[in-house]
Structure 1
Amino acid sequence: MDSCVKIINEWDIVAARQLGRNVARDLGFGTVDQARITTAISELARNIYLYAEQGEVCIEKTESGGKIGLVIISEDQGPGISDLRKVMEDGFSTSGGLGAGLPGVKRLVDEFHIESNPGEGTLIKAIKWLR
């Protein structure tokens, strides 16, 4: 059930959110967790659009130890992030936004992993487990 949305324009952010909501609903997530998932997807897709110009967001089902979850993978070949610690601080923003960005995504999901190398791009994997 792997599904990816290429992020090139703002409409792709909407498509990624919709895909995430549909997969979350199909897996049995309630409306509150569906909202958390779509918000996280929206932030990740918007970051691709704003900073990397293009990339993709993939949504897939995962299972571990009898638990079912939804994995969000955000990947781009953009400029990368030079200071991961800084971008993970609450209130940090390079776009003039609220700075909820990546720290906000981390709070919305159960597992969060980020890899980024300047000049090579960024890979983020976030998992929300079904309760």
Structure 2
Amino acid sequence: MNRSSVEIITEWDIVAARQLGRNEAKKVGFGTVDQARITTAISELARNIYLYAGKGKIEIERVTDGEVCGIKVLASDDGPGIPDLRKVMEDGYSTSGGLGAGMPGVKRLMDEFKVISELGSGTTVTATKWLH
């Protein structure tokens, strides 16, 4: 298993997670457009951890499925959890005054997307991009 991670505690950790994601995407063979998609998704997920949970972790793993390879991003925290997951997945919804591209944006940028959130226990987002 080839997995790297960045603890998200400060805003600088968001930059480190983006850089790690870009480097891994490059190693897998993603072109510049998909590298940008992956780093944008990582940026959104890391920023959510920073803003809403205070701290957490971004893990990046190279994955394969038969002949196809890709990158899996796992964003996890022990924060307050997401009270209304459906609302968070609506375009334009924002609790931070941002553009509200967050979670729906990540879902659009990646090929696979899953959120598990439990109030008081934290949130885990898994997003995978396949090399086509």
TM-score scaled by length of structure 2: 0.98
CA offsets per residue over residues 43-99 of structure 1, 9 Å max, x none?
A: 000000000000000000111121101000000000000111000000000001010
Where in structure 2 are the equivalents of 1:75-94 lying within 5 Å? 75-94=76-95
Aligned to 2:17: 16
Equivalent-residue separation in structure 2 for 1:71 and 1:17 (angstroms): 13
Determine what percentage of the aligned residue pairs are the same residue: 67
Does 1:39 find its partner at 2:35?
A: no
Equivalent-residue separation in structure 2 for 1:64 and 1:83 (angstroms): 32
Does 1:120 find its partner at 2:121?
A: yes
Aligned to 2:63: 62
1:5 Cα deviation (Å)?
0.1
Corresponding pairs, count = 131
The aligned amino acid for 2:25 is A
Aligned CA-pair RMSD: 0.4
Equivalent-residue separation in structure 1 for 2:109 and 2:130 (angstroms): 11
Q: Which runs of 5+ in 2 are unaligned?
A: none
The aligned amino acid for 1:32 is V
Q: Does 43-52 or 61-70 show the bigger shift?
A: 61-70
Equivalent-residue separation in structure 2 for 1:2 and 1:109 (angstroms): 18
1:24 Cα deviation (Å)?
0.2
Equivalent-residue separation in structure 2 for 1:73 and 1:8 (angstroms): 16
The aligned amino acid for 2:53 is A
Q: Which runs of 5+ in 1 are unaligned?
A: none
CA offsets per residue over residues 82-131 of structure 1, 9 Å max, x none?
A: 11100000000000101000000000000000000110000000000001
